[in-house]
Amino acid sequence: MLTNNPRMTSGANLRSDAGLASALRVSLARLNRRLRKQGTGHSLTPTQLATLAAVERHTAMTPGELAEHEKVQPPSMTRVIANLEERGLVARSPHPSDRRQVSISVTPDGAALLKEERRLKEAWLAQRLKDLTPEERATLRLAAPILERLSQM
């Protein structure tokens, strides 16, 4: 099982909530860094990539909605959108019901970048999963929805 790995538990008492929080923080941060390295070499920042993915997932969003969704200040989101637009990854269009607003949507180039990014990261992760025991993979299948719920809180 995963908790029997001394590298995973060193310095953390997984029996306490604080120890579990510490172990998860370290492990998830490390895994996130490793996954980021598997990207396409596009030179997008993590915020730019997350914004592009959010726009794709929600079809079209206003800059204000994006700022709120990504937990950044509106002026910061304006810069992120401008950079993505300059690269041809998103496009602005008039908002369908509020003439003062614009909607941001992903361009075909943006969608292609995200598709390739996901393909590379998922291939890397699938290869790592092959190194785990069937029991470890079963544990991760049970943990995945819980981790998703944590990420949404």
What domains, with CATH codes, occur in the chain? Answer: 1-37 (no CATH), 43-153 (1.10.10.10)
CA distance 24 to 92: 38
Residue type, 150: L
Query: Is residue 61 within 8 Å of residue 102, measured between CB atoms?
Result: no
Confidence (pLDDT) at 15:
82
Confidence (pLDDT) at 32:
86
Confidence (pLDDT) at 36:
81
- Tens digits of pLDDT across the chain (153 residues): 444 454 444 445 778 888 889 889 999 999 988 888 887 677 888 889 999 999 999 988 899 989 998 888 999 999 999 999 999 999 999 888 878 888 999 999 999 999 999 999 999 999 999 999 999 999 999 999 999 999 888
Query: Is residue 118 within 8 Å of residue 39, measured between CB atoms?
Result: no
Confidence (pLDDT) at 89:
97
Confidence (pLDDT) at 83:
95
By residue count, the chain amounts to 153
CA distance 13 to 15: 5
